[in-house]
């Protein structure tokens, strides 16, 4: 069967489920899994002797931070504090989020299982939908282990009944519920800004900061404010271990900085780049502030710290950000969309200065946290315990799905199955112009492309090898169909469509 025929008439129970997608738009979705390394033993410190030795845990999530934005990963922007965090533990070079966009990625992270299990494939875009209230979150697992829990920053997995952070296992919440907010109070003078599309529509009035369930409007840069709150929380006199979920909105749009913060980058010819570097420097400085606070309180040796990004950086940053050395952007089904920075610092549990090339996923955070807290991970969780030296494997199979579009990585191979499109668009065609809610988009009437890449030799995903390896295509699609049986149709539709090209082929991305 040719690829074109198979795309138009999918087979298998998972494919049948995809044919029934009458409620969803399709997405693009990033998959790439990357550079595979041969299995090797990873150094680890002995586990704590006593089961009562529960470490504090901090999960730091940056927003739209590209793989190539950190100097720890070879980027041009100096990030010495995040680099130091990497040196204190493990820097993972083949780490992936569960989606190339914010909402579903965070739903997978918080629940510890692929978000398609509960139909969460697309961004919320202002709707009262999201992660089901009955999903078990990492905060709820921490509560079961008698942890004090706090959430600071961006939520973005739903704010309807039962979906607020305070209803999902967090003792306290300070942040915002939607996808973005303004870094400074509305009307702040003297800012250097540059933005396009939806970034201009993001204000504190439309997307307020909340303390608990009440609206507040703190002065100053919100990255500083979030860190102030984080420092205060970790410095409190805790009578039990704590879990802090610190979800910065930096460096997500809208792009803004003070004249003072931009000044060190005045020689950069790009206004967008100057602001972006200032925002990245601010983020790095605040990570340093938090780590200094841990040391000052004698908590650094008793605290596990994760640092990750939710997905790759976007093309609407006008070249200021970087997913190097990979192709693609946020919302793209390429390495640049889902390959993310991932750092784990766990003094006394993992040896510092390690670099790990075997593939991992943000799904691994749930079982890793549970193991550290001496609690079983929820039975439905799908990740691996990163504190177990033998957990990782070069043969790990990873899957992604965004509506009818999906991809699979097995060893060096990655297979992308994605809707065909008749034409391409520019960002100006789609920014700030969401599809009507309920727009039905399933399999393209043109069929789907299938593209097979050898990530070991082609990390830029520029050479489709599907014609030369039809058996690999068939095998990987069958594996996807079996995995996909546990997913359900989209619980809500996509409101964003983008038609672009991948490897010279016109494709439809829905996110």
Active site residue ranges: 102, 156
- Alpha-carbon distance 32 to 24, whole Å? 23
- Residue 58 contacts by C-beta under 8 Å, 6 or more apart in sequence? 230, 234, 243, 244, 246, 290, 303, 304, 305, 306
Residue 243: Cβ within 10 Å count: 27
Half-sphere exposure of 382 (CA within 13 A, CB side): 21
User: In this structure, is the dihedral angle defined by the CA atoms of residues 301, 86, 100 and 96, taken in order, positive or negative?
Assistant: negative
Q: Exposure of 41 by Cβ count < 10 A (0-12 exposed, 13-18 middle, 19+ buried)?
A: exposed
Structure tokens at 435: 């599809």
Round to the nearest angstrom and report the end-to-end CA distance of the chain: 30
Q: Find how far residue 270's CA is from the centre of its chain.
A: 27
Q: Residue 324 in contact with residue 65, Cβ under 8 Å? A: no
Cα dist from 28 to 52, 165, 331, 352, 435, whole Å = 44, 28, 6, 36, 15
Q: Exposure of 17 by Cβ count < 10 A (0-12 exposed, 13-18 middle, 19+ buried)?
A: middle
- Contacts of 472-479 with CB under 8 Å at 24 or more apart are 472/413, 472/415, 473/3, 473/415, 476/408, 476/410, 476/413, 476/415, 476/452, 477/6, 477/12, 477/408, 477/415, 477/417, 477/450, 478/12, 479/397, 479/399, 479/408, 479/410
Q: Is 174 helix (H, G, I), strand (E, B) or coil?
A: strand
Angle between helices 80-87 and 271-296 in degrees, nearest 10: 50
Cis before 66? omega within 30:
no
């Amino acid at each position: 069967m040719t690829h074109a025929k198979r795309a138009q008439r999918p087979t298998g129970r998972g494919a049948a489920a995809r044919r029934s997608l009458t409620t969803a738009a399709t997405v693009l979705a990033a998959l790439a899994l990357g550079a595979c390394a041969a299995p090797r033993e990873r150094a680890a410190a002995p586990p704590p002797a006593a089961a009562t030795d529960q470490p504090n845990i901090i999960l730091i999530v940056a927003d739209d931070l590209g793989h190539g934005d950190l100097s720890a990963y070879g980027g041009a922007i100096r990030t010495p504090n995040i680099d130091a965090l990497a040196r204190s533990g493990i820097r993972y070079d083949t780490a992936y989020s569960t989606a190339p966009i914010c909402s579903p990625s965070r739903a997978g992270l918080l629940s510890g299982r692929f978000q398609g299990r509960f139909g969460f494939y697309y961004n919320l875009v202002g709707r009262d939908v999201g992660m089901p209230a009955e999903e078990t979150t990492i905060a709820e697992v921490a509560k079961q282990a008698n942890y004090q829990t706090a959430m600071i920053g961006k939520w973005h997995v739903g704010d309807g009944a039962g979906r607020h952070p305070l209803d999902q296992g967090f003792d306290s919440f300070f942040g915002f519920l939607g996808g973005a907010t303004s870094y400074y109070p509305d009307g702040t003078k003297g800012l250097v800004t540059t933005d396009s599309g939806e970034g201009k529509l993001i204000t504190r009035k439309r997307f307020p900061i909340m303390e608990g369930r009440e609206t507040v409007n703190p002065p100053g840069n919100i990255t500083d404010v979030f860190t102030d709150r984080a420092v205060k929380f970790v410095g409190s006199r805790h009578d039990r271990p704590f879990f802090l979920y610190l979800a910065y909105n930096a460096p997500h749009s809208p792009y803004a900085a003070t004249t003072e913060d931009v000044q060190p980058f005045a020689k950069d010819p790009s206004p967008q780049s100057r602001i972006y570097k200032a925002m990245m420097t601010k983020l790095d400085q605040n990570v340093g502030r938090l780590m200094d606070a841990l040391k000052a309180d004698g908590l650094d040796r008793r605290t596990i710290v994760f640092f990750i990004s939710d997905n790759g950086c976007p093309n609407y940053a006008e070249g200021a950000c970087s997913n190097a050395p990979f192709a693609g952007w946020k919302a793209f089904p390429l390495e640049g969309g889902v390959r993310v920075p991932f750092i784990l610092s766990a003094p006394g549990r993992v040896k510092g200065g390690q670099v790990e090339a075997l593939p991992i996923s943000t799904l691994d955070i749930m079982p890793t946290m549970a193991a550290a807290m001496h609690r079983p991970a929820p039975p439905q969780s799908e990740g691996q315990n990163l504190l177990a030296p033998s957990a990782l494997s070069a043969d790990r199979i990873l899957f992604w799905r965004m509506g009818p579009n999906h991809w699979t990585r097995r060893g060096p191979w990655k297979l992308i199955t994605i809707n065909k499109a008749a034409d391409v668009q520019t960002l100006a065609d789609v920014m700030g112009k969401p599809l009507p809610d309920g727009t039905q988009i399933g399999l393209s009437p043109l069929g789907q492309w299938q593209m097979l890449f050898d990530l070991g030799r082609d990390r830029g995903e520029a050479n489709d090898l599907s014609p030369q390896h039809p058996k690999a295509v068939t095998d990987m699609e069958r594996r996807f169909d079996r995995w996909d049986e546990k997913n359900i149709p989209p619980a809500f539709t996509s409101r964003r469509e983008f038609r672009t090209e991948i490897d010279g082929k016109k494709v439809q991305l829905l996110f």
